Amino acid sequence: MSGGLSQPAVDFHAFELSRWQRVVDRYHRSWGELTGSAGSGLLDVIGVEPGTRLLDVATGPGYVAAAASRRGARSVGVDFSAPMVAKARALFPEVEFREGDALDLPFGDGSFDRVVMNFGLLHLGDPERAIREAFRVLVPGGVFGFTVWASPEEAVGFSLLSDAIMEFGEPVELPEGPDFYHYSEPDNCRASLAAAGFVDTGAEVLDLDWHLASVDDLFPAYRQATVRTGALLDGQSDRDREKIELRVRETAARFSDGDGGLVIPMPAVAVRGRR
């Protein structure tokens, strides 16, 4: 763990790490196809060619590093969770993965042509520091790109749950972390990139859908395969949690695919900046 962080950031880091150690396989099953699609879109946005030296920060199960490798890039994936790194190595043995902290990357200055972070910024105690670290390890002219979810009004997989929690849930004390939707606003993204020294910044929406085989898969995806959301649901009483789940199932019905499954709009924002 890198030094110089506030105590809330340290506490949030420990909270995130402890939860990510436990949800690896469930995350892969529930969210992997969706977040992997976003990662492929991110590679299109930043431009990846054969021979590109690419670092995938907060790689998780390794989807983006592997997708870049298939395009001919020389990819490295890094994650602070040892079980996530093990999962990535099992899924994509041809790609290099290692443990490392997004806030203190274990690489020298100017080591990469491209740095990416697919939804990782949402899980860091000090996102601005991670952006500065990406700047540091890029060559001059290199590009950093990251994805975040669009607002819950657009990424309705989140509003389905948050509306139900507002109706039936109770507050749960969790370690203080960054605003989950701060970077859903492109202007905030561009401001953070500019503050770190990036130029030629931009953002675009990736139109994505979350495909679930059954409505039965939806609530477990929230509770068993996420960090902050899962902890919030764990903190509810059994009775309130049952009410929340029932409301989620009821409101999700409008996204039925007609064949027993769900197709839920989940757009993301892909952001880029040049060093």
User: Percent of the chain, pLDDT > 90?
Assistant: 96
Per residue in 57-76, pLDDT (tens digit) is 999 999 999 999 999 999 99
Helix (H, G, I), strand (E, B) or coil at 139: strand
Q: Is the pLDDT confidence value at 124 over 90?
A: yes
- Of the listed ranges 2-16, 89-103, 106-120, the least confidently predicted one is 2-16
What lies within 8 Å, CB to CB, of 49 at 6+ separation is 71, 72, 73
What CATH number was assigned to the domain covering residues 7-151+178-212+265-274? 3.40.50.150
- Tell me how far apart the alpha carbons of residues 95 and 93 are, in angstroms, rounded to a whole number: 5
Tokens of 47: 């431009």
Please state the rounded mean pLDDT for residues 225-237. Answer: 96
3-class state of residue 79 by DSSP? strand
* pLDDT for res 5: 87
Q: What Å distances lie between residue 21 and 15, 24, 61, 234, 266, CA to CA? A: 10, 7, 12, 16, 25
Q: Are strands 268-274 and 199-206 parallel, antiparallel or unpaired?
A: antiparallel
Q: How many residues belong to the chain?
A: 275
Mean pLDDT over the full length of the chain: 96
Question: In the prediction, which pLDDT does 56 show?
Answer: 98
DSSP H stretches of helix in 47-155: 63-70, 82-91, 127-137
∠ CA(234), CA(240), CA(243), 5° rounding?
115
Give the contacts of 162 (CB within 8 A, at least 6 positions apart).
152
Q: Which two tokens stand for residue 104?
A: 């203190």
Pairing of strands 262-265, 209-212: antiparallel
Determine how β-strand 138-149 pairs with β-strand 268-274.
Answer: antiparallel
pTM of the complete model beyond 0.85: yes
